Amino acid sequence: MSQGIKYMHSHSGIERDLNFPKDTVLIDIEYVKRFEELGLKLAPFFHNGVTYYKAPISLFWRLGGQFKNLSK
């Protein structure tokens, strides 16, 4: 978990720095199952030795995700 955060969150700092498309957020592996339960397979994304997963922003928000300006 990122910096002790215990709820689904994005890594907006990384997304911004790497010019990610506005319809995609990066999430941690522990939240991937929520998307898989809905039949969606998320693509892994590797950055600075950490594996994140690309998720559609609209579904992230509907599943209760919160936007954070995390850069790691």
Domain ranges (residues) in the chain = 2-62
Mean pLDDT score of the chain: 92
Which has the closest alpha carbon to 24: 4, 6, 44? 44
Identify the pLDDT of residue 69: 74
Identify the pLDDT of residue 4: 76
Query: Among 1-10, 49-58, 63-72, which stretch is predicted with the lowest mean pLDDT?
Result: 1-10
